Structure 1
Amino acid sequence: MKIQGKMFLWLSLFVLVMAAVYGVWSKEPAGTTALFLAFGLCVMVGYYLAFTARRVDVGAGDDKDADVADDAGELGFFAPHSWQPLSLALGGSLAFLSICFGWWLMYFSAPIILVGLLGWVFEFYRGENQNQ
């Protein structure tokens, strides 16, 4: 993670310089704002990866002599059969369509998003997946 954190922090410096150059040359506010927001996102991801790399063990990605097989193993726990991402995708799609067709469509998409989000958060607190 240490290498990825450094890569994102260097990328953020590049994006910052390009945002300044683009803003001076083009005098176009939308693209300049988008580049400065991309700079902020790169800084956030880079800081998170660098901060986390100090607290966890060295991974195979940080070892120059590591093999591909050294990174094998369990990566975490994932829900085996969850329908909640589908409802969030449907609600998000309707929300973005409301920008095109009219804001009234947001009245239908917001409840779908809320149901999907709450269902995903509390998925393992009820029903067959409940931890005992």
Structure 2
Amino acid sequence: MKIQGKMFLWLSVFVLIMTVVYGVWSKEVAGTTALALTFGLTAMIGYYLAFTAKRVDEMAQDNKEADIADEAGELGFFSPHSWQPLALALGGALAFMGVIFGWWLMYFSAPVIVIGLWGWVYEYYRGENQNQ
């Protein structure tokens, strides 16, 4: 976290310099205000990360000798045989085509989306995948 804190603090310094340069050269209020707000946000994030880095243990990104796998954790469980994402993609494609061709197509896409979502949520509560 120390690295990210330093990066955001240096970014905030850069944005502050660019805010002053842009404000002097362009004399435009909206862009100067947007850059000033960007400076404030990057400074807040940098301060938070630097402050938090002092309170937590050293992480792998703070160690120059660390490997990529040192911070790797469990990614989670992904269903290997699920057909439900295909149904959701088909329903989503129909829904977006409904925006293009006419809203009446939503009447056909909504049931496909609901059935795909229902099947995906309750996939491991029925059939051969049912937990016992």
Aligned residues: 75
Cα distance, 1:48–1:13 mapped onto 2, change above 3 Å: same
Corresponding position of 1:68: 68
Q: Does 1:45 align with 2:62?
A: no
Corresponding position of 1:36: 36
Deviations 1:58-104 (A, max 9, x none): 001101110011011259xxxxxxxxxxxxxxxxxxxxxxxxxxxxx
- Pick the structure with greater CA Rg: 2
Distance across 1 between alignment mates of 2:36 and 2:45? 14
The letter for the 1-side match of 2:9 is L
The letter for the 2-side match of 1:8 is F
Identity of aligned residues (%): 76
CA RMSD of aligned residues (A): 1.2
Q: Does 1:12 align with 2:9?
A: no
Distance across 2 between alignment mates of 1:33 and 1:58? 37
Deviations 1:14-67 (A, max 9, x none): 000000000000000000000000000000000000000000000011011100
Distance across 1 between alignment mates of 2:62 and 2:41? 23
Q: TM-score, normalised by structure 1?
A: 0.55
**Where has structure 1 moved over 3 Å in runs of 4 or more?**
none
